[in-house]
Each structure stands twice: as structure tokens, then as C-alpha cells.
Amino acid sequence: MKKYILQIQKTILKNAGNEGPSNDLSVLLRVLSIFCIFHFLFLIFPIAYISNLYMTIFLIFGIGIMLGVIICTYENRTPAGLWLYNGFFLLYASLMSIFIGWEYFFVPMIFSTILLAFFALSLSLRIRLFYTSFCCVLTLILANSHYFLPLHTTPPLKIQIAILTLSTLLMFGTFTVISYAFYLKYTKSEEKIMQYTNRLEQMANTDALTTLWNRRAMNEHLMTLSKNFDKHKADFSVVILDIDFFKKVNDEYGHGMGDFVLKSLSYLFKTYMDGKGHVARWGGEEFLLTFENMDYDRAISYMETLRKRVEDQEFTFRDTTIRITITAGIEDYHSNIGLDQLLTKADEKLYLGKTSGRNRVVSAYTSV
């Protein structure tokens, strides 16, 4: 049984050709048409009971129309299916109100066709508003039709209950399905907006070459670290490092080798800093690292280990192998220093290291 239910669900949700977003409308029309087919099948019996032959034939005709709507959605003709569905329901609500009675909730089905018109992406706003106005006029006419078109007689109570029950079920079922379709559409739109927003935010915060944080993202993170220090005394240190003689690498081996070195180092830094802090490409061949929730001495030790790893690593690109070194300046944050001064001191230590031999980590303890 479950297998058959899944197969029916798969058939209903089947994409209609290359319609793209309008496939949502196709699925909606299929579900509504199936509802209507069952509604007409059950409604035939009370209508036939009161000997209304023409309306009985009309309901059988309606089943055929709903099948036609379903076929349209599978034949990549969903707009035609929409107009067929809406047009038939306008006729259905009109004839049933005139010949069976206004009080059986046939007219509210006209409102559901307005919702369908606004759900369809293919219709312009002008067409939607014109259709809404037409439905409003038609509803007003039908509301007063029983005064000048007394064409129906009052059926027995049990038939009244049957017709009213079926009409009410169709009305609530139709409005529920359409409302749910609008909900799904809204949810999809929200998800897409969130995805685009996250992608834009990631692009704004990520260096394209290395996929590390860029300067903007790291500045925001440094502000967060500063606030945490003021609140919770969470220690952190900042390292600004530079690749030694990187211009020489580009000049001698080409920018392909230079890019390879940047990406390889970035991966090394990111892997090494996992659980210790964060890393960003600060600009050109400069990187900024944060050692978080640890004292200054421990941060220096970690940074020295990283420097040695870089020194020991070989970089092979297109059968060419080179070695490189890095120079770094490290400064710890404390209450007497702001972020600007922190970065200035770290940069001064980097400069000191570059002018005193390179391939070293310069800290407050370093004597040059």
C-alpha cells in the first residue's frame, strides 16, 4: 500500500517539462483537480436524487474538464490548464448557485480562483487585477440572482446537508491546499534569500585565492576578541607574518608558483590554527593570526613551531621545488592597549624581524 502511495505522490510531483518555477503551479493544479474529481463524483448522487438531470450531466462534464487540466500540466501547458480550471469553476459556481442555491457555498470557490491567478508567475499584474474585478462583479450578480432567477427548489433536508457538507469540504480543502502552496513558495523564497545572503557574506569575508578570511572579516573578529577580553579577560595574541623574499619567488618562478605557495601556506596555517585561533590573509604575502584563550608565552611557542614547519616544508609546483621562510611579529592584547595599537606593535615587530635577518618570530622578549 505504501508503495502505491509513494508512486502516486511521485506522479503528482513530476516536473512538467522545462517550466521551471511554474512546476509549482502544475502540482497545485493537479492536487486541486483531483479534489474536484472526487467532489463531483460524490456530488452527483444528491444532485441526481433531486432529479436535476442537466446539473448531473454538467458534473460528469466537470470530471472530464478536471482530467483535461491534469493532462495540460503534464504536457507543458500549465497556463492553459490554469485558465481551463478557473474558467470552469466560474461556470460551476454560477450554475450551481442559480440552479441549486446560493446558500451552499458554491460562490466562495470563485475566491480560490483569484488566489490561483496570483499564484501563477506567468500572469501580469494587470491581468490579475482585471480577473479579480471580473470575479467581484460576477459574485455580486450571483448574490442577487435568487431575486430575479428563482430557478431552484428547496431539496429535502438530508440532500441539503449532503450538498452543504460536500461544498464545505471542497471549499476548506481547496483553500488549505492553496494556502499551503503559498507557504511552500514563501519558504523556498526565504531559503534562496538566505543562501544568497550567506554566499554574499562569505564572498565579502573571504579571500578569493586562499579561501581564508580577508582583512574585513579579521577586523570584525578582532573586535569580538577585544570585547570578550573586556568582559571575561579572555587572553589573545596577534601575529602579523610575512613570506620572506616572496617577490623573488614570483620573479624567478612565475606567479603560478607564487599563487601555489600562498594557497599551500594558507592550508598549512588554517590546519595548524584549528583549535588555537584564526588566520586571515592580511594583504599580499602578509597573514594575520590570532592565538586565543592562551597566555603570551604559549602563543609565542606555538608560533615558533609554525615557523619551523614552514621552514622544513618543500613546495613543489610543475616539477620545481623550493623552500621558503616566514618572519613574524607577535603582540599580546591587554587593557592598556587598543586594537589599533596592538596591530601597530605587531607590525613593528615584524619589521624588526625583517631588518634583522628574517626567518624568525619577534616578540616582546626578543633582543635584536
Give the mean pLDDT of 360-367. Answer: 87
**Residue 246 has what pLDDT?**
94
In three state form, how does the secondary structure of 70-121 look?
A: HHHHHCCCHHHHHHHHHHHHHHHHHHHHHHCCHHHCCCHHHHHHHHHHHHCC
Residue predicted with more confidence, 6 or 23: 23
Q: What is the pLDDT of residue 18?
A: 46
Question: CA–CA distance from 154 to each of 56, 157, 284, 337 (Å)?
Answer: 17, 9, 87, 90
What is residue 359's DSSP assignment?
A: S
Question: CA torsion 317→322→325→326, rounded to 10°?
Answer: -20
Band of residue 15 on the pLDDT scale cut at 50, 70, 90: low
Cα 64 to Cα 95: distance, rounded to the nearest angstrom: 17
Q: Are strands 236-243 and 320-323 parallel, antiparallel or unpaired?
A: unpaired
pLDDT band at residue 4 under the 50/70/90 scheme: low
For the cut 60, the answer to whether the pLDDT of residue 201 exceeds it is yes
Residue of 358, 359, 275 whose CA lies nearest to 309: 359
Cα gap 212→282, rounded to integer Å: 10
Q: pTM for the complete prediction? A: 0.64
Rounded to whole angstroms, the Cα distance separating 314 from 303 reads: 19
CATH superfamily, domain at 215-362: Reverse transcriptase/Diguanylate cyclase domain (3.30.70.270)
Q: What is the pLDDT of residues 203-244, one digit of tens each?
A: 888 999 999 999 999 999 999 999 999 888 889 999 999 999
Q: Which three cell numbers stand for residue 249?
A: 619567488
pLDDT at position 309, please?
96
- Give the DSSP H or E segment for 211: none
Nearest to 252 by CA among 324, 313, 355: 324
All residues at 6 or more sequence positions from 69 whose CB lies less than 8 Å from its CB, including other chains: 29, 30, 33, 81, 84, 85
CA dist list (Å): 105 to 92, 94, 102, 125, 178? 12, 11, 7, 28, 18
Give the residue extent of every domain in the chain: 2-201, 215-362
260-309 pLDDT per residue, tens: 999 999 999 999 999 999 999 999 999 999 999 999 999 999 999 999 99
Grid coordinates given for 234: 579572555
HEC readout, 317-344: ECCEEEECCEEEEEEECCCCCCHHHHHH
Residue 338 grid coordinates = 587598543
User: Mean per-residue pLDDT for 161-174?
Assistant: 91
Q: Are 174 and 116 in contact (CB under 8 A)?
A: no
Q: How far apart are CA 357 and CA 258, in angstroms?
A: 22
Q: Using alpha carbons only, how large is the chain's radius of gyration in Å?
A: 36
Residue of 59, 25, 24 whose CA lies nearest to 45: 59
Per-residue confidence band for 122, with pLDDT thresholds at 50, 70 and 90: confident
Give the number of C-alpha atoms closer than 13 A to the C-alpha of residue 314, restricted to the C-beta side: 5
Average pLDDT over residues 3-17: 58
> Beta 277-283 vs 286-292: how paired, if at all?
antiparallel
Do you know the residue count of the chain?
368
pLDDT tens digits, 329-348: 999 998 778 899 999 999 99
